[in-house]
Structure 1
Amino acid sequence: MAQTARKTRNNIASEDAMAVSLAASPDDPVFCFSATALRARLAVFHAGFPGRVSYAVKANPSTEVLSTLSGAGLRHWDVASVHEMAAVQAIQPGAVFHYHNPVKSRREIFTAFHRFGCRRFAVDAREEIEKIAAIVGTASGVELAVRFVLPRAQGLSAHDFSTKFGAPEAAAAGLVAMIARLGLTPVLTFHPGSQSRDPAVYVRHIEAARRIVDAAATPVKTLNVGGGFPASYPLSRPASISQFFEAIDTATTRCFGDIGRPLLECEPGRGLVASSMSLLTSIKLVCSDGDDVFLNDGIYGGLMEFMQVPELQPPHRAIRNGATLTGPVKQWKVFGPTCDPLDVLPVKLDLPLDLREGDYIEFGTLGAYGLATATRFNGYGCHAVVPVETVFTGA
């Protein structure tokens, strides 16, 4: 016989977040942010990665995240736009930018170079090299990072980053040689795909980097291994981050030891910031005679990536009066608040039988691509960021 659902108090850090959200605006979802967790994760990268660490601002450009990373000593920033540069520079005037979006307008290049002092630009086409050289000159100290791409190895990452940007090996070698002839500094960079689960994907790319250098007959002093470092989700359990660092270190020495090991760089987004935020939503309606539940956030808000890649389903829990609800569960179909019928999670969630209007559903591991991709569709998408000491990750 099923036991009655019971509430247990786990001294959860989100109690503080709930109190703040209820006092401020009970109808809006809240991101709970732990600066302590983010600083600890950055320390793991600084201690373990065998090179320079930057941050992929696109993953979460919130003031809270940028300020925490800056205060913890981060000085290099991977950016995709001059807007991201402006956000970082407002917090850290001396920031060093790596403009690693391979396609930029002439005005964006000019602004990045002259206003923000950017001296690193990514390229994957001859035309982009010519455009940058014409704007910044060839005696500017600018580095051009040639982004190369390999055919995707199935199953090694959740997001395929091989379809939009990146030059194949032979073309990348030609670009490296062209940059050197122009008097600019060539760098090599790649992106193995977001939520890379296996360190072998980095090894494949490092081996390709050596082949590119040999074909170009041009050494590179810096190799940027991109982002792709994973977080842990219930349906996506990657190798430990230390295994990634060790594999990158070993492969670089093996592939480049005879000609001089390049300086390594990485630009984590998800792998750095995901576990520092959770999303606290509230229930607007429960259809007790069926299996439908309606939240105040959904796929047009903080849960957009879950809709795109169900593998990245965040951990979740139900909360009432500051206590986690446990006991018998059933599968609920979870809708967001908008009028669009597409605003429904891609899978049903196991949630308590006795859900009520006003209960909370908290989704963990949403520090990456939660706040960053939220829209204002139907007027929703207003997310406060509330500080907590520890944050729910489902671990």
Structure 2
Amino acid sequence: MSQIQDLLLQDTYKKHLQVGKQLKGKDSTCNGTDDLLSNVTIVKEGMSVVEFIQNKTDSLGPDNQDAFYVADLYDVVNKYHNFCKELSRVKPFYAVKCNSSKLVLQTLAILGTGFDCASKVEIDLVLSLGVPADDIVYANTCKQPSHIRHAAKNGVLKMTFDCESELLKVAENHPAAEMILRIVTNDTDSVSVLSKKFGACLPKCEGLLKLANILNLQVVGVSFHIGSKSKRPETFSWAIADARYVFDLGRKFGHAMRLLDIGGGFPGDDNFQPAFSEFTAVINKALDQYFPNKEEVEIIAEPGRYFVASAFTAALNIIGKKEDYFTDIDGKEQRKLSYYLNDGAFGTFRLDELRGKGVKLKPLKDYQHAQKHFPSILWGPCCTDHDIITEEVSLPELEIGDWIIFSNMGAYSLSVTSTFNGFHHPAVYYPLRKDKITITQKM
């Protein structure tokens, strides 16, 4: 815990706390992406996320019951330290696309992570935090030429490729780049199968390495990604073995191969199976076999959801309620309830994995002694039948104005939300318990 306390006393946080105190009691709505604060709230030492949500909802007036998030930066810090402990040879380069909340990025920057960026905007966001260009990998295998030139102008050298046309673009726009050849993996056991879009098959790697020589581009390493939310840790072992083959192939053709990027795919949700430790056991064994310590190879990874998924909790308000009846298999008439919430599938629940049967939720109000539960549907607020969060949940009878909290909402939620039908992005609150201050960030 002392490491977390020290983190919160860094100059970055002191600056925000000072600004927050100046803004307290004033109109502090954010008008731009560089503005971090919109409100400051004093919280007691040791307050839990659920306690904070309860206090927050109790204090809201009838005209301010919008959905919001609470981000536990302590959870992010703990995840970082656990990653470094479990994968001591691997430096994390956080995948900005997963959750670009600025205080999350600042926390990780203070801890010393690198960053996986996919665009000019993400590169600029990370550089604005004072992160050195060498701690950025431009990990997008299909880059806009103007973005490549922007990376060159700002000293970002490391970038991935997987085809001939990308090498030609980089040779024209950033000849000093340090290229990383991304290869395909067997990611069929993952929720997001990335190899159908990204990566070079092994038989194509020789030709790509030869072309890089012809274009006077240096290839410095190999990367892969086993897919998001993988269910098979062994995939890492197979991919690392393939990377070793391409590594040796690159050296054969005169490239100074010195970097291995094992990508992302690490679980971040509470109680996800297989557990993170099962993945790290496979990775460490494969690294010892194919990239032993005596060899001078820099090993990095691109974790996203691992750092942020469990750190964010969403609080949604019930704005509508409707009841229906259906006949069960025994011929009895049963009651079914529909609840309409103020965020949904066109907001922060846009990804399929955040909706449906596996969504982790509970009413904020204590209903543990409720005698009866009902099959329930949770709808979002938009004017379309596609705006549904889940229709497979059993709940006690709730009322308009009640709150429902959703756990594990930090990954690919805020970063992909839309404003369809004019519903704005939720605010994000950060309880900083050491200094008894909570910072609110607007998207």
AA at the equivalent of 1:298: G
Give identity over the alignment, percent: 26
Equivalent AA in structure 1 for residue 242 of structure 2: A
Superposed displacement of residue 240, structure 1 = 2.5
Letter in 2 for 1:314: V
CA contact (8 A) 1:55 1:78 kept: yes
Residue identity matched to 2:157: R
Shift of 1:48: 1.9
Question: Which residue is equivalent to 2:14?
Answer: none
2:282 to 247, 258, 273: 247
> Structure 1's 190 and 367: CA in aligned 2 closer, same or farther, altered over 3 A?
same
Asked if the contact 1:148–1:189 (Cα under 8 Å) also holds between the matched residues in 2, the reply is yes
Q: Does residue 144 in structure 1 map to residue 187 in structure 2?
A: no
The yes-or-no answer on 1:66 pairing with 2:105 is: yes
**Selected match of 1:387 from 412, 430, 433:** 430
Q: CA contact under 8 A between 1:14 and 1:388: conserved in structure 2?
A: no
- Separation in structure 1 between the aligned mates of residue 283 and residue 131 of structure 2, nearest angstrom: 31
Give the 3-state SS of the residue equivalent to 1:70 in structure 2.
helix
Distance 2:67 2:375 in 1: 22
Q: Give the equivalent residue in structure 1 for 2:77.
A: 39
Letter in 1 for 2:81: A
Aligned to 2:260: 223
Counterpart in the other structure of 2:195: 162
| From 400, 403, 424, the counterpart of 1:357 | 400
Q: CA deviation at 1:259?
A: 9.4
Give structure 1 stretches of 5+ with no counterpart: 1-10, 391-395
Correspondence for 2:414: 371
Q: Is the 8 A contact 2:194 2:225 kept in 1?
A: yes
Q: Report the equivalent of 1:30.
A: 68
Tell me how far apart the structure 2 counterparts of residues 162 and 198 of structure 1 sit (CA, whole Å).
15
The two structures have a TM-score, normalised by structure 2, of 0.77
Give distance in 2, aligned partners of 1:256 and 1:13. 42
1:265 aligns with 2:329: no
Compared with structure 1, are the counterparts of its residues 33 and 220 closer, same or farther at alpha carbon in structure 2 (3 Å cutoff)? same
1:300–1:381 contact (8 Å) kept in structure 2:
no
Task: Report the counterpart of residue 14 of structure 1 in structure 2.
Answer: 50
Match of 1:335 in 2: 379
Distance of 1:26 and 1:77 partners within structure 2: 36
Instruction: Work out which of the residue numbers 331, 335, 338 in structure 2 matches 1:292.
Output: 338
Deviations 1:268-303 (A, max 9, x none): 001121010011101011224542110001111111
Task: Give the superposition deviation at 1:198.
Answer: 2.3
Paired position in structure 2 for 1:301: 347
Question: Which one is further off, 17-26 or 356-365?
Answer: 17-26
Change (3 A) 1:233 1:43: closer
CA deviations on 1:321-368 (whole Å, 9 max, x unpaired) are xx465533222111100111110125422221x201111111100110
Superimposed CA distance per residue, residues 88-120 of structure 1 (whole angstroms, 9 cap, x where no aligned partner) = 222235352111111111111001110x32111
Distance 2:337 2:270 in 1: 25
Cα 1:285–1:14 change in 2 (3 A) is same
Report what 1:188 is aligned to: 222
Higher relative contact order (CA 8 A, sep 6+): 1
Which AA in structure 2 matches 1:136? H
Q: Deviations over 1:169-210 (max 9, x none)?
A: 111233234335525133100110001222201111111112
Whether contact under 8 Å (1:299, 1:307) holds in the other structure is no
- Secondary structure of the 1:334 match is strand
Instruction: Tell me the amino acid that sits aligned with residue 122 of structure 1.
Output: T
User: What secondary structure does 1:297 align onto?
Assistant: coil
Runs of 4+ in 1 over 4 A off after TM superposition: 307-311, 323-326
What whole-Å deviation, never above 9, does each CA across 1:231-256 have from its counterpart, x for those lacking one?
Answer: 2367xx32232232221121122124
Q: What RMSD, in angstroms, separates the aligned Cα atoms of the two structures?
A: 2.5
1:309/1:215 Cα in 2 relative to 1: closer, same or farther (>3 Å)?
A: farther
- Structure 2's unaligned 5+ residue stretches are 1-46, 325-335, 434-443
Match of 1:53 in 2: 92
Closer, same or farther in 2 for the Cα pair 1:326/1:230, shift >3 Å? farther
- Find the residue that maps to 2:196 and give its secondary structure: coil
Tell me which structure has the larger Cα radius of gyration.
Answer: 2
Quick one: distance in 2 between partners of 1:308 and 1:164? 22
Q: Distance in 2 between matches of 1:330 and 1:67?
A: 43
Q: Relative to 1, partners in 2 of residues 1:271 and 1:381: Cα closer, same or farther, differing over 3 Å?
A: same
Rounded Cα–Cα distance in structure 1 between residues aligned with 2:131 and 2:262? 26
**In structure 2, what is the Cα distance between the partners aligned to 1:174 and 1:229?**
31
Amino acid corresponding to residue 401 of structure 2 in structure 1: G
* Aligned counterparts, 1:69-84, within 5 A: 69-74=108-113, 76-84=114-122
CA distance in 2, matches of 1:113, 1:61: 23
Number of aligned positions between the proteins = 367
Structure 2 residue aligned with 1:6 = none
Kindly report which structure 2 residues correspond to 1:122-137, keeping only aligned pairs within 5 A, or say none: 122-137=160-175
Contact kept, 8 Å, 1:35 with 1:387, in 2: the verdict is yes
Cα distance in 1, alignment partners of residues 419 and 139 from structure 2: 27
Structure-2 residue corresponding to 1:201: 235
Displacement of 1:73 after TM fit? Answer: 2.6
Once residues 177 and 265 of structure 1 are traced to their aligned partners in structure 2, the CA distance between those partners, rounded to angstroms, is 25
Equivalent-residue separation in structure 1 for 2:425 and 2:355 (angstroms):
23
Q: In the aligned structure 2, how far is the partner of 1:46 from the partner of 1:151?
A: 26
- Please point out which of 54, 70, 87 is paired with 2:125: 87
